[in-house]
Structure 1
Amino acid sequence: MTLSLDAPVIDGSTLDGADRPAPAAGPSLAERAAADGVRFLLATFTTLTGKPCAKLVPVTAADAFEADGVGFAGYAAGAMGQQPRDPDIVAVPDVRSYTPIPSVRPGLAIVHCDPHVEGRPYAYAPRVILRSMIDRARREGLELVAGAEIEYFLVHRASDGSLVPADARDDAARPCYDARGLTRMLDHLTTVSDVMAGLGWSPYASDHEDGNGQFKKNFLHADVLTTADRVVTLRYVIQVLAEQRGMTATFMPKPFSDRTGSGMHLHLSLWREGEALFPGTGDDPHGLGLSPTAYSFVAGLLEHAPALHALIAPTVNSYKRTGATTTASGATWAPRQASYGGNDRTHMVRVPDAHRVELRAGDGSANSYLAAAAALGAGLDGVQRGLDPGAPGTAAPHSLPRTLLDAVAALEASPVLRGVLDSVDPGAGVSDYYAELKREEFYDWHGAVSPWEIDRYLTAV
């Protein structure tokens, strides 16, 4: 199998022209809103750092929004590769992503958008990057299906500025799955689940995770773009509903040094024309029931693990999670090496069954579009080259990054992962921009004096 690296396309529209994606079949935005009693639309996109940006569009302007999009000053939005002098980013709605959320605010819906600049899909836009990678796979007849596990903490800020669990009674040494802690947060958890169920996402579990104040949401898998959109929507819903109850919901990877961090695990599978490609049908040299395609996909994730981390674990704080040696509960649940195995949560890639693989290295700070695009790019490279991951439990010869700076260096040395970021327009310099953005983030952190330094060095000499 050969994966073409020709000029990327999005829904049949080449990126070297001014064409926009063909409009979705079915009702217009205005018609959908009228049917649901929606009065306002959140026209939403994310920056490269995952910040959700939006304008509030009244339904009376829905037809103009659908036809022309809505403009943003890109530099003001944040990490979008723009300067104040640059032309507007125009958020073009994907009508298929229309999502009413009346339980959050009556009369409100979210619509995810593809940013354009001067009539062309914008190379720095994470959703556009994922769509480019999806179309790269489609040209080979492949489709990525994904599920996501969303972990987060519910916290308050104490008077001294420190974080404490929002539930003051959530103080057990091993709180995971605790029925009482779950019940005390029942109002928040059930409201979030009701929102997801009403949207047809088929939520199937909420649980108290391993850290005090930590919870998780599971919902049914879908095509990878839909799942990435749902992650953005769900984070927004969780945070707004938490604020309404006087709490802060944080997806920060490691808000507490002595407790488990929050991951964003991705469950991945490849399909062709409705047929699952991961279950094995013949000889299986590694005994996990996977096909050669699935093993090669896993091998791609493992081979590109260091560079992949720059996109799935993209903050300074991420490496407090992956580098943790212990927590109050006795386990970190974060991978420490690039390995894979069966139903074993210590591996970076877990194989719970023959239908999917679970990438466990991503965390709550990851931009869902970039994380999915990076995983797809790494896995497809493994398929293209027919890589073999070796025996289950065997660690790759390279180490995982210990800091964000290490991950950035690995990204800059990886043509495959740089190619993901540059997939919309190889000449736009997105990978260089992203690497510099993250390098400066590391140096900003490095330049701040921490309590650890005061404790360690104040009277050291």
Structure 2
Amino acid sequence: MTMLQSPDELVLNDVNYALISFVELNGFSRAKLVPMSVLSSVKEHGAGFAGFAAGDIGQGPHDPDLVAIPDLGSMQRVPWREDVCWFASDLYVEGRSWPYCPRTTAKRVLRMAQEKGYRFMVGMEPEFFLLRKGGDGRLEPADPLDMEAKPCYNQQSIFRNLDFITRLVDAMNRLGWGVYQCDHEDANGQFEINWAYTEALEQADRLTFARFLIRSLAEEQGLIATFMPKPFSRLTGNGAHCHVSLWDEKTGRNLFLPEGGAEGNPLALSDIGRWFIGGLLAHARALAAFTTPTVNSYKRLWASTTDSGATWAPVYVTYGGNNRTVMLRIPGEGRVEYRAVDGAVNPYLALAAIVAAGLDGIERQIDPGPPFAGNAYKLTWADASERGMTVLPRTLKEALEALDGDEVLTEALGPDLVSLYLEVKEREWREYHASVSEWEVERYLHLG
């Protein structure tokens, strides 16, 4: 990320325009395009938006302008239009910080962590489908030869999509993201890309820009890129696995690593790391409202099966070693992978909630108990009950009920924001139940 303090530091003579961008509660990006010649004014006074028209952001049609102030340190040069740059923004109304701004909320919670001496480091791994519309108008994988039941890591599929993948990797690396791998994932037409971990706010900005970048490159080829958690009932869904760790703000040491080394510590986790995991487990059901934030998210979590034979999504609130069937996986020393996070995530809200839950675990020294070993997908309800294990919510409604009762997350993210978020998502739940699906018509049309 380019660290800048003022527009005068921008020495980009060939950049003519800036996208002033922000996300609303659902994670949808909104933006205005402004000439670079007025960036100084926009940095001081902001770009004005009719907030009610910009999605769920806590405004009615009668409210004063929502003002987006760009964070110059977030600048990304648009790789396929290098005369344009992009800025993440923080929202204000009448000169005051807007309490419903996801990015502002994340900054505030991360400052709380810093005040305790912690720096929250994150790496996110988005999965996405490349699709096209078939002759019947239905969405299908863009690659017509990508038809295997178990297509994960398929070499031929990677190579057939090489033009798209290499353009994407090259674009991200020109931005200095440090892409280290891209692969064909477990579903037909599905891919994942991984770049270097960073401080949490920068990672949230990167994921937001990455969605814009991936969709734009796909559109240039007449394709559709989607991060929807479960676009196909028979295929594996889109995750956005999140690797997290806490570092000492002063020394830069990874506090998840045991000071005495890993000997006698099979998971190589410090007490702080264990307590952080304890916090994530304790708040897991409420966290789901942010990590799996849509009606569709729970069709990914609770899918009965897929063509490949596994959903690769957790069901039980568990942690363990290098085990992809648990919710919290420890793939290597010094980090924890949160596998319940999906492609619909608003990264600002999810990361704020995750660090708040982890800090509560540290403050209360919550013991996560023994790690789970084995295949969690084969656990029966009786097995889980005997072990005292809980499950993730089965629906968005269950997740919202858990969040509504979670005082720690509500206080950390702000009661006003959480109240509006619950209102927005409960409306989504009601709208879902008011709709009639094709499945219902086929099943019940001739009933009786």
Same fold (TM over 0.5): yes
Q: What is the deviation of 1:416?
A: 1.5
Unaligned runs of 5+ in 1: 1-23
Q: 2 CA distance for matches of 1:449 and 1:214?
A: 28
SS at match of 1:352: coil
Deviations 1:383-435, CA, capped at 9 Å, x for gaps: 1100010000186643210011111111101111222331xxx4xx2211111
The counterpart of 1:178, out of the listed 137, 154, 162, is: 154
Residue number among 220, 236, 251 corresponding to 1:260 in the alignment: 236
SS at match of 1:35: coil
Partner of 2:7: 29
Shift of the alpha carbon at 1:104? 2.1
Instruction: State the AA in 1 paired with 2:174.
Output: G
1:430 to 417, 424, 431: 417
Deviations 1:310-354 (A, max 9, x none): 001000000000001210000110001100000001010000122
Select which of 237, 245, 256 maps to 1:278. Answer: 256
Deviations, residues 22-44 of structure 1 (Å, cap 9, x unaligned): xx975633542x42621110001
Do 2:318 and 2:389's aligned partners in 1 also have CA atoms closer than 8 Å? no
Cα-to-partner distance string for 1:71-94 (whole Å, 9 max, x where unaligned): 111111010011111111111111
CA distance in structure 2 between the partners assigned to 1:398 and 1:386 by the alignment:
20
Q: Which amino acid in 2 is paired with 1:295? A: R
Q: Which amino acid aligns with 1:298?
A: I
Q: Secondary structure at the match of 1:391?
A: coil
Structure 1 segment 264-343 matched on structure 2, within 5 A: 264-272=240-248, 273=250, 274-282=252-260, 287-343=266-322
Q: Which residue of 2 aligns with 1:137?
A: 113
Q: How does 1:372-391 map to 2 (within 5 A)?
A: 372-391=351-370
Residue matched to 2:380: none
Does 2:401 correspond to 1:409?
yes
The answer to whether 1:358 aligns with 2:337 is yes
Q: What SS does the aligned partner of 2:331 have? A: strand
Deviation at 1:157, TM superposition (A): 2.0
- Counterpart in the other structure of 2:165: 189
Partner of 1:127: 103
| Moved beyond 4 Å, runs of 4+ | 24-27, 282-286
8 Å contact from structure 2 (residues 316, 389) kept in 1: no
| Cα deviation 1:346-390 (Å, max 9, x = unaligned) | 010000122100001010000111111111111111011000100
More deviation, 291-300/411-420: 411-420
Partner of 1:156 in structure 2? Answer: 132
Instruction: Give 1:118 shift.
Output: 1.5
Counterpart residue number, 2:90:
114
Matching residue of 1:420: 412
CA contact (8 A) 1:145 1:221 kept: yes
- Percent identity between the two aligned chains: 45
Q: Which residue of 2 aligns with 1:95?
A: 72
Structure-2 change in CA distance of 1:30 and 1:328 (3 Å): farther
One-letter code aligned to 2:437: S
Q: Secondary structure at the match of 1:92?
A: strand
2:33 aligned with 1:56 = yes
Name the CA shift for 1:447/1:284 in 2 (closer, same or farther; >3 Å): farther
Given that 1:284 and 1:291 are in contact with CA atoms closer than 8 Å, whether structure 2 keeps it comes out as: no
Check conservation: 2:124, 2:207, Cα contact below 8 A: yes
Q: Return the offset for 1:189.
A: 0.8
Query: 2:158 & 2:143 partners in 1: Cα distance?
Result: 10
Deviation at 1:287, TM superposition (A): 3.0
- Match of residue 79 from structure 1: 56
- Please give the secondary structure, in 2, of the residue aligned with 1:269: strand
Q: 2:348 aligns with which of 357, 369, 374?
A: 369
Change (3 A) 1:237 1:25: closer
Q: Is the Cα–Cα contact under 8 Å of residues 302 and 396 in structure 1 kept in the other structure?
A: no
Q: 1: distance between equivalents of 2:220 and 2:128?
A: 17
Q: CA contact under 8 A between 1:45 and 1:113: conserved in structure 2?
A: yes
Question: Does residue 393 of the first structure (1) align with residue 397 of the second (2)?
Answer: no
Deviation of 1:284 (Å): 8.2
AA at the equivalent of 2:447: A
RMSD: 1.6
Cα separation, partners in 2 of 1:225 and 1:396, compared to 1, 3 Å = farther
1:433-454 per-residue CA deviation (whole Å, 9 max, x = no partner) reads 1111111101111111111112
Give, in whole Å, the separation in 2 of the partners of 1:335 and 1:446.
25
1:235 is aligned to 211
- Answer whether contact 1:173 1:329 (CA < 8 A) is retained: yes
1:445 aligns with 2:396: no
Structure 1 residue 455 displacement after superposition: 2.0
Aligned mates of 1:285, 1:310 — CA distance in 2: 37
Following superposition, the deviation at residue 241 of structure 1 comes to 0.6
Give the secondary structure class of the aligned counterpart of 2:187.
coil
Q: Secondary structure at the match of 2:225?
A: strand
Q: Which runs of 5+ in 2 are unaligned?
A: 374-386
Query: TM-score if structure 2 supplies the norm length?
Result: 0.93
Is contact 1:45–1:54 with CA below 8 Å preserved after alignment? yes
SS, match of residue 71 in structure 1? strand
SS of alignment partner, residue 441 of structure 1? helix
Counterpart for residue 17 of structure 1: none
Q: Which of 169, 181, 194 is the equivalent residue of 1:205? A: 181
SS of the aligned residue for 2:85 comes to strand
Q: Secondary structure of 2:42's partner?
A: helix
CA 1:26/1:114 → structure 2, altered by over 3 Å: closer, same or farther?
closer
Verify the 8 A CA contact 2:328 2:338 in the aligned structure 1.
yes
Q: Distance in 2 between matches of 1:286 and 1:123?
A: 43
Equivalent residue letter for 1:230: R
Contact 2:153 2:184 in 1 (8 A): yes
Equivalent-residue separation in structure 1 for 2:271 and 2:348 (angstroms): 27
Instruction: Report the alpha carbon displacement of residue 289 of structure 1 after superposing the two structures with TM.
Output: 1.1
User: 1:69 corresponds to which residue?
Assistant: 46
